[in-house]
Amino acid sequence: MKQDLLNSLGSQVRALRLGQGMTQQELAERCELSLPFINLIENNKRNVSLETLVKLLSALNISLSEFFEPFSHGEDEGLTAFLLLLQQSPKKDKYIKLFTQVLELSEE
């Protein structure tokens, strides 16, 4: 369980970054970390300290509680990443409308 959470942190950072249309280079510059280090974090090959996590989340403009909320619901990692991408997308309303239509069609 603990390892699953640690592995999910990097994926969560990646989903948030992509949702904001930010490159790894931009994130690295914003939090004053190296590009290779960001890559290792996002690929779950490097654990991060609380200090580093705070830097990352500050650069992503998200609070610690918002960051950890998906983990508290026991959601699947893929679903969490998808929901974060959807939440951050400028076309969020369009996608939600489309998904609603698909669900309505599947109920017929």
Task: For residue range 55-99, list pLDDT tens digits in order.
Answer: 999 999 988 778 877 666 555 555 566 666 666 667 767 766 766
pTM for the model stands at: 0.62
Domains of the chain, earliest start first: 2-107 (1.10.260.40)
Task: For residue range 42-64, list pLDDT tens digits in order.
Answer: 998 888 888 898 899 999 998 87
Identity of the amino acid at 71:
F
